Amino acid sequence: MKLKVNHDSELLEYLYNNLDMPKKKIKQYLTHGAIYVNNVKTTKYNYKLVAGMNIAIDTNNKNKKVLPFEIVFEDDQIIVVNKPSGLLTIATSKEKEKTLYHIVSDYLKSKDKNAKVFIVHRLDKDTSGLVLLAKNEKIKNQLQENWNEYVTLREYVAIVHGKLKNTNGRIVQNLNETKTNLVYVTKKGEGKEAITNYEVIKSSDNYSLVKINIETGRKNQIRVAMSTIGNPIVGDKKYGNIKDNENRLYLHANRLKIYYPILRKDILFEISNPKEFKKIMNK
């Protein structure tokens, strides 16, 4: 299916207004990478269209059972994926469909209409990297109830502003949260303890590439920890520099080691750093 753009607009809006097709179906085509603008695949609802552009929709793509991001591991019990930065893990009051959960659910149901999926753990919207989801409630409950015992490594990489005073360290803090969802450091005995370990891998004049392991899984704990020691994560407008012009948060969950009860052994899931991490370190 092909059409020519005759006025400036955003992609989803334009398709909805110019096709005899439900908005939900258009979103599915976008989610599954079936829409091309000037021969370039896009999954963005708000992709900016300019008059004269050409749109092509591969209507058979939905049957190819692909995700718009990497599947790191999949069997009949779990699926581990590489979540992009900027994508919610689960729905909020403002966004119901453009979430990791919804996209993976659609993918599984394209193979089996009765398929289910359950969130086991989350990443912040702006953090990219490894997320594990369960395909049935039994394994979901088993993993969640034993998460702290089963998980032996939760490693991230981050690019932070400046050079760190110490090449490695252990940051122990107590964190609380305001009614506006801002996490802050509080005194001992209040909030929840957060433990963050870091090690500098490489430094340039303006930035440092840091390996981070967490012993606790508190909301925004890495972002708060690095900001507290004076080296906020690049792209962090919430806890760092609000004038930071980078278009993503430079925090990536790259390694997860977990005991997998189905196989009765530890499995290490590992992915490479996003390409933009290398680019910014060379600036």
Q: Residue 83 and residue 87: Cα distance in Å, rounded?
A: 7
Q: Which residues contact 17 (CB under 8 A, 6 or more apart)?
A: 9
H helices present in 146-264, as ranges: 147-150, 221-228
Q: Residue 180 and residue 220: Cα distance in Å, rounded?
A: 14
Sheet strands (E) in 182-227:
183-186, 192-203, 207-214
Q: Residue 183 and residue 175: Cα distance in Å, rounded?
A: 6
Are residues 164 and 210 in contact, defined by beta-carbon separation less than 8 angstroms? yes
Annotated active-site residue 205? The verdict is: no
- The residue annotated as part of the active site, out of 20, 112, 124, 236, is 124
Active site residues: 124
